[in-house]
């Protein structure tokens, strides 16, 4: 592993993070911070692309997301935590990139397409929302990140970023930007407790890193299993069974989970027992995070101070890339 390789990821501060974020990305970041140069971006400007009239929501959630990071084990001495809006180079690179990406191309981005349909924007689609993949390309390239640990819904962003890298480099006398690749976790998408393929705040099917014991218990009890598994003795189905998908994502003893799956498929293993097993490991995972988070969130100014320090460092890195691009394009740099 090359210790100099740079990693960038980020999150929109639109609410506290949940277990989908944890298995999709947070858990990896905690492991990777030891071996890589890692930056984590609180993407407040991207958060505003569909919250333009509600900036307070974004503002309020910045410390919430930071508390989640620290609670999950991201160490600000190993990972540079920074704020998108504090890094003007990102906005400037976005302006430059917007000229080399067509509207047709952004409209074809499947993630953006889905989100636009899901949010029912129609003609009220904010211009900033449509181009957020371009701004995300600016985020990634400004840090010269080569590895981006994300969930699979972000793959179209990586693809689009690499197109921009290719195009922009071809306009410069010598390549400045680096190509990047996604790093997917074993569980790149955790289904919601209701069986919906995506866990999301708007669907109300999430579990937060700060979920109480009672909330965890209730969520697991109500969790979607195999609707045809009526009697304990009936053979049950694993595919689409959220309890087993979650056991795969969270349980440390893979052999035990494999044995449970066999038993369940043959018949004779009840949902209750599977759920108890899952609840136990979730309670064990979340309890220490919930406690740490409660401590961190009490001192929001301390959290913002961490972000300010990291942003100062990130400012230097991103400003250097912007200057290189500008010089290459023949834009005067004073």
Question: Judged by CB under 6 A, does residue 8 bind ligand TRP?
Answer: yes
Q: H helices within 15-174, ranges in order?
A: 19-21, 27-32, 44-48, 55-72, 88-98, 103-108, 110-119, 127-130, 132-142, 155-171
Q: DSSP secondary-structure letter at 208?
A: B
CB of 319 to ligand TRP, least distance (A): 18
Residues listed for the chain: 334
Residue placing its CB nearer to ligand TRP in the complex, 11 or 277: 11
Instruction: Lay out the site mask for ligand TRP across 119-138 (x = CB under 6 A, - = otherwise).
Output: -----------------x--
Stretch that binds ligand TRP, among 38-46, 93-101, 120-128, 303-311 (CB under 6 A): 38-46
Residue placing its CB nearer to ligand TRP in the complex, 148 or 177: 148
Cβ contact 86:35 at 8 Å: no
Residue placing its CB nearer to ligand TRP in the complex, 150 or 306: 150
| CA max distance for the chain | 76
CB of 20 to ligand TRP, least distance (A): 10
Cβ contact 111:49 at 8 Å: no
Question: Judged by CB under 6 A, does residue 177 bind ligand TRP?
Answer: no
How many helices and strands (H and E) does the chain possess? Answer: 15, 5
Helix (H) or strand (E) holding 149: strand 147-149
Q: DSSP secondary-structure letter at 124?
A: G
Distance CA(111)–CA(14), nearest Å, equals 18
Question: Judged by CB under 6 A, does residue 80 bind ligand TRP?
Answer: no
Please select the residue that binds ligand TRP; options are 23, 66, 67, 140, rule is CB under 6 A.
140
Distance CA(64)–CA(8), nearest Å, equals 20
Cβ contact 235:267 at 8 Å: yes
What order do you get walking across the sheet with 79-83 strand by strand?
79-83, 37-42, 6-11, 147-149, 181-183
Question: Judged by CB under 6 A, does residue 12 bind ligand TRP?
Answer: yes
Stretch that binds ligand TRP, among 8-16, 61-69, 209-217, 282-290 (CB under 6 A): 8-16
Q: Six-digit token pair at 22? A: 């944890």
- Give how far the C-alpha of residue 245 lies from the chain's centroid of Cα atoms, to the nearest Å: 19
Question: Judged by CB under 6 A, does residue 68 bind ligand TRP?
Answer: no
Stretch that binds ligand TRP, among 41-49, 118-126, 294-302, 311-319 (CB under 6 A): 41-49
Size of the site for ligand TRP (CB under 6 A): 14
Question: Judged by CB under 6 A, does residue 41 bind ligand TRP?
Answer: yes
Q: Which residues between 290 and 319 bind ligand TRP (CB under 6 A)?
A: none
CB of 139 to ligand TRP, least distance (A): 4
* Chain residues that interact with ligand TRP, rule: CB under 6 A: 8-12, 41, 43, 46, 136, 139-140, 148, 150, 154
């Amino acid at each position: 592993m090359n210790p100099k390789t740079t990693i960038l990821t980020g999150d929109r501060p639109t609410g506290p993070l949940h277990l989908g974020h944890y298995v999709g990305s947070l858990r990896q970041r905690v492991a990777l911070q030891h071996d890589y140069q890692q930056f984590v971006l609180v993407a407040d400007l991207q958060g505003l692309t569909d919250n333009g009239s509600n900036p307070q929501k974004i503002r309020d959630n910045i410390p919430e997301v930071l508390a989640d990071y620290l609670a999950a084990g991201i160490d600000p001495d190993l990972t540079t935590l920074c704020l998108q809006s504090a890094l003007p180079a990102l906005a400037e690179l976005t302006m430059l990139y917007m000229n080399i990406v067509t509207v047709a191309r952004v409209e074809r981005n499947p993630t953006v397409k889905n989100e636009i349909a899901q949010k029912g924007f129609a003609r009220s689609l904010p211009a900033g929302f449509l181009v957020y993949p371009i701004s995300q390309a600016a985020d990634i390239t400004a840090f010269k990140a080569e590895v981006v640990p994300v969930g699979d819904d972000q793959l179209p962003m990586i693809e689009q970023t690499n197109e921009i890298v290719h195009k922009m480099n071809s306009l410069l006398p010598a390549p400045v930007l680096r190509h990047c690749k996604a790093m997917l976790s074993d569980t790149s998408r955790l289904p919601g407790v209701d069986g919906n393929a995506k866990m999301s705040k708007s669907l109300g099917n999430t579990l937060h890193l700060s979920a109480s014991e009672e909330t965890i218990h209730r969520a697991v009890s109500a969790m979607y299993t195999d609707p045809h598994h009526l009697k304990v003795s009936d053979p049950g189905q694993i595919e689409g069974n959220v309890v087993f998908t979650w056991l795969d994502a969270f349980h440390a003893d893979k052999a035990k989970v494999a044995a449970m799956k066999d038993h369940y498929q043959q018949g004779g293993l009840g949902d209750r027992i599977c759920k108890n097993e899952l609840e136990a490991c979730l309670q064990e995972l979340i309890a220490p995070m919930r406690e740490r988070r409660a401590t961190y969130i009490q001192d929001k100014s301390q959290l913002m101070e961490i972000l300010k320090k990291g942003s100062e460092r990130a400012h230097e890195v991103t400003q250097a890339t912007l200057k290189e691009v500008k010089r290459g394009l023949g834009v005067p740099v004073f």
